[in-house]
Amino acid sequence: MRDLPLPPAPIALLAELTHRCPLSCPYCSNPLEMVAREGELDTATWARVFAEAADLGVLQLHLSGGEPVARRDLPELVEAARQAGLYVNLITSGIGLTEARLDALEAAGLDHVQLSLQGVRSGIADRIGGYKSGFDRKLEVAKSITARGLPLTLNAVMHRQNLDDLAETISFAVELGARRIEIACVQFYGWALTNRAALLPTREQVEMAKRTVAQAVQTYRGRLAIDFVPPDYYADFPKACMGGWGSTGLNVTPDGTVLPCHAAATIPHLEFQRVTEAPLAEIWQHGPAFQAFRGHDWMQEPCRSCARRDIDHGGCRCQAMALTGDASATDPVCRYSPQRPAVDALLAEIPEAEALPEFTYRR
């Protein structure tokens, strides 16, 4: 018996510093059961995690949440990450980013800000975020970020109720001076799965969105970089989720639990470890949750013998779990999946505009 070869080094670490957040978006990527403030890792432990991540090969650090600005020690965390040699990206709603805090983050060496956008006008944005006057405050923050020369990406989360505003959203990004926009159609896990009937776009919306993006890529070439994540339920093949399980990135939750992706805890039988229990390298290389879906041995048919198995890696394990109850199944988005009819049935049942259900907000 010989040791298995080590997995490739990860490139990105998503640090969910806190689950606390002033917004309550109905598609929040945090789990339904959140970590309370008392359970959060302290400053020194995060700093150690960042150093271990850099030693392991991580280049990109995404400081996320919840709302990471809710952490008072955020500038210290940015400084620790820069000292470890990481590229530091702040993923924020902008709420709580005062001028003084931006000064401190700039001084600490923050590289880039990714600002979430719930809607392109105050009415829709504040309704989605569940936070009154949130849009106006976000706008002020965005202007301050670009006035400082900090690189800005808008992360526009799109779904049934705002996808018709896509062209306006892209021109809004250009007017703000953002360098990039990520047009991320909601993926259905956790809170978004709970609210799927209110969020799943129609086929007409998706087709229009593709045309809008193709046009905008030409119109704004050289001014705005555009990344588009279409809703995968309408795709023929699944997304190559995380570039393959346990191959490029890892996620650390507020209490230090290390996950292969932010939704991995929705897979019931996986065993996770914490950064307080084992070194990050040990967890990445040998942790049972990371090993669970590496390689091909876990695959079932039709994935196992599929010519695309190294292209999309069988798709998303969390989506297979959510829609089929079996985390090892082919992602049912795939046209080769025997379960694809279940996805088609969901698309056939999309409610009329007047009949959209109310949101269950993240609380």
Partner 1 sequence: MTDTLLTAKSDPFVRLPRGVRLHHDRVRDMPVLLGPERALMLDEIGLAILTEIGQGLKMSVLIERLAERYDAPRAEISGDVIGFIEDLQVQRLVDYADA
Site of interaction with partner 1 (CB under 8 A): 9, 11, 55-57, 59-60, 85, 87, 89, 111-112, 114, 149-151, 153, 179-180, 182, 221-222, 224-225, 227
For the chain, the farthest-separated pair of C-alpha atoms sits apart, in whole angstroms, at 63
CB 323 to partner 1: min, Å? 28
Minimal distance in Å, beta carbon 64 to partner 1?
13
Taking each helix axis from N to C end, the angle separating 122-129 and 134-148, rounded to the nearest 10 degrees, works out to 100
Q: Which is nearer to partner 1, 114 or 319 (CB)?
A: 114
Q: Rounded to an integer, what distance in angstroms lies between the CA atom of residue 7 and that of residue 287?
A: 11
Q: What's the rounded Cα separation, in Å, for the pair 271 and 279?
A: 16
The set of long-range contacts for 38-44, using a CB threshold of 8 Å and a minimum separation of 24, is: 39/254, 39/255, 40/71, 40/254, 40/255, 41/254, 41/255, 41/256, 41/275, 41/276, 43/73, 43/76, 43/77, 43/80
Nearer to partner 1, 146 or 291 (CB): 146
Q: Which is nearer to partner 1, 218 or 305 (CB)?
A: 218
First to last CA, the chain: 50
Distance of closest approach, residue 115 Cβ to partner 1, in angstroms: 12
Cβ-based nearer residue to partner 1, 26 or 244: 244
Tokens matching residue 228: 């588009």
Cα 47 vs. chain centroid, distance in angstroms? 22
d(CA 330, CA 59): 31
| Cβ 114 to partner 1 shortest distance, Å | 7
CA atoms of 318 and 161, how far apart (whole Å): 24
Both tokens assigned to 343: 């996805």
Q: Provide the minimum distance between the beta carbon of 282 and partner 1 in the complex, in angstroms, as a whole number.
A: 16
DSSP string, 47-89: HHHHHHHHHHT--EEEEESS-GGG-TTHHHHHHHHHHTT-EEE
Of 248 and 291, CB closest to partner 1:
248
For the bound state, the minimum distance from the C-beta of residue 93 to partner 1, rounded and expressed in Å, comes to 18
Of 9 and 167, nearer to partner 1 (C-beta) is 9
Please state the closest distance from residue 218 (CB atom) to partner 1, in A.
Answer: 11
Of 85 and 96, which has the nearer Cβ to partner 1?
A: 85
Using CA atoms, how far apart are residues 310 and 4, in angstroms rounded to an integer? 19
